[in-house]
Amino acid sequence: MKTHTLPCILGLGSAIVAVLASSATFAQTPAAQMAPTNVPTTQRAATEPAATQATPQAEPVQPPAATAPAAPATAAPMIQLASQAPAPPPPLVRTDKTHDGFYVRLGLGFGSQSTTLDDGTPLPNFTGSGGTLAIDVMVGGAPSPGIIVGGALLLDSLPSKTFTVDQYSAKTGVNLLTIGPFIDGYPNPRGGFHLGGTFGFSAARLTNSNSQTFSTDKANGFGLAAWLGYDWWVADQWSVGGLLRFSGAHTTARERDIDFAVNTRAITLMLTTVYQ
């Protein structure tokens, strides 16, 4: 009985020592080595049986396929507002039915002219009046819309009339030519109302005159005219209208030591054609 008890006691003591040694080893092992914390419980459960199975033979690893080098990155272009949107075109300026640019006016009219002929004697002057034929030609341009400047030629022709003074009389006609610069203005460049004037050189000529009555049949001097009128557009660059013209001239000459003068005054209603 005693011989069997001693071995049992020794075996029990050896078992207790082994258990204590394994417990101490377990206590010294870090928690990270015991079980990974980042592996879920279900995954550990699924992988634990696989550990008992035979490990399959690993397949050969294929080298990665060669790829083309990536293009170097470029900076994104900055938005340039000045180059993105084109500049707007210049505004269109209408030239139709506007009084600008090249200008031509042709006029034809009839009026009344009063003329005084001074023969250079102490006697009263010869006077006469009558209907006159008038022709106007004006050519110019517009430095700004509605303002016209240029040159004018005005012709007034008084047919042969009988000039009288007291008991004396003389029959003659008078042609008067005036050339000079002019200005014509339209308050509304696209409208029709206008007014203007001219001042320049004048030449008077007598026709069918009696050389025994007057010392000469020609005289030179200066003349002027002023007008107002209205034009109606009939096309993009053409208009027609009418104007009332007031004109006068003073011309003189000296023949045989005698001073001779022709003074004219006229009012004329004219029909005009204008290109502009």
Output the pLDDT for position 52. Answer: 45
Judge contact between 178 and 202, C-beta under 8 A.
yes
User: Kindly report the CA angle at 107 between 101 and 113, in degrees rounded to 5?
Assistant: 140
pLDDT at 121 over 60: yes
Phi-psi domain of 120 (left: phi exceeds 0; alpha: psi -120 through 50; beta: other): left
What confidence tier does 46 reach under pLDDT thresholds 50, 70, 90? very low
Which whole number is the average pLDDT over 197-221?
84
Output the pLDDT for position 255. Answer: 79
Q: Which of 55, 225, 67 is CA-nearest to residue 136?
A: 225
Amino acid at 49: P
Q: Which is more confidently placed, 209 or 113?
A: 113
pLDDT at 32 over 50: no
Domains of the chain: 101-275 (2.40.160)
Q: Indicate the average pLDDT of the chain.
A: 78
Output the pLDDT for position 259. Answer: 86
Q: Which of 206, 215, 221, 210 is CA-nearest to residue 121?
A: 215
Output the pLDDT for position 145. Answer: 93
pLDDT at 9 over 50: yes
pTM, two decimal places: 0.63
Residue 203, C-beta contacts closer than 8 angstroms, at least 6 positions apart: 176, 177, 218, 219, 220, 251
Q: Which is more confidently placed, 246 or 47?
A: 246
pLDDT at 203 over 90: yes
Output the pLDDT for position 62. Answer: 59
